[in-house]
Amino acid sequence: MDCVTGLVPGGKENFNACIVIFDRYSKSVRCLPCHKEDIAMDKALLYCNNIIATCRVAKITISDRDPKFTSEVWANLYEILGTKLEFSTACPASLKQDPELYHSEITLTGRKRVDPLKKNLLAIHPTAKDFHGIWRRACDTASKCVAEAQEYNKQRYYKIHMKPDFKEEDPVLVSTLNFNNLKGPKKMRDSFLGPFTIIALIGTNSVQERTSSPPEIVEVEDSPGPVKKIIKATKIRLNGKDQRKYLVRFKNQTTDKDKWLVEDSIPDGNIYLGRFRASKKTEKSHK
């Protein structure tokens, strides 16, 4: 028997070790899952509940000379059985030879089973017949992939480091990809600006350009036209003072063109304000 550690955790209990016990009488293997952190008493209980409960006490048990087995596991096992273990940890000569003989028997048994298979390898592994061809095709495919990768890298390099085909006084556009001072949503920005005129070539991929100032913005006075009438009035507070604003409708314009204006901003305001106030008085008298 021996304890195998370093396994991948698995199962509901996340076992990461296993106690392997080989029964020489029944030629069967028992694998008892456990944890690497289990103490010697836990391993002794596993052995007692799974091996002694079914196969009774073994006459001879072979284990390695790990101090955990010789000094702890066996002592705890005998304590569970109600006895006391007293023996030397030194391995006698008779027991030292027995595992070696047993290992040699396993090797010979394995060779007896494998040797006849060597005469008919094609039946076991059909691809062994054309192994040389398979290996040659695999090498050709690998060489082809390496060549394609090299060609791709060359094209990328030449694309970046190729000499420009533009000259001085040619109009060019400037990409805004690396501009960090542009405001607004990135999707709404222009991809290129220009065109700009090249003044001189600097290096292989740099140029000096002539830029011009943007055209001046001409403010267009938004004058809907002559006033038709004043619809209503409201009072607002502006700069700490109460002011009146009037909703003005213009001739030959739709209602969405109506504007709120102060008295001084209304063309011929005295005339239209007089009419507006007279209409309000008439409405009150009718009521």
Do residues 19 and 79 both lie within one domain? yes
Do residues 83 and 6 both lie within one domain? yes
Do residues 53 and 25 both lie within one domain? yes
Pairing, β 241-250 against β 171-175: unpaired
Residue 102's nearest CA partner among 62, 56, 59 is: 62
CA dist., res. 103 & res. 64, Å (int)? 13
Q: Which two tokens stand for residue 179?
A: 């501009």
pLDDT at residue number 106? 58
Amino acid, res. 198: I
pTM above 0.85, yes or no: no
Do residues 205 and 232 both lie within one domain? no
Do residues 48 and 10 both lie within one domain? yes
Domain count across the chain: 3
Report the CATH number that the domain containing residue 15 is assigned in CATH.
3.30.420.10
Do residues 204 and 233 both lie within one domain? no
With residue 269 as reference, give the H or E element that holds it: helix 269-286
Domain containing residue 236: 227-286
Query: Of 95-109, 136-150, 230-244, which gets the smallest average pLDDT?
Result: 95-109
Do residues 245 and 193 both lie within one domain? no
Do residues 13 and 61 both lie within one domain? yes
pLDDT at residue number 96? 46
In a domain, 235, yes or no: yes
CA dist., res. 237 & res. 241, Å (int)? 5
Mean pLDDT of 258-284: 85
In a domain, 144, yes or no: no
Report the CATH number that the domain containing residue 231 is assigned in CATH.
2.40.50.40
Which 3 state secondary structure label does DSSP give 115?
helix
Query: Of 52-66, 76-90, 93-107, 203-217, which gets the smallest average pLDDT?
Result: 93-107
In a domain, 219, yes or no: no
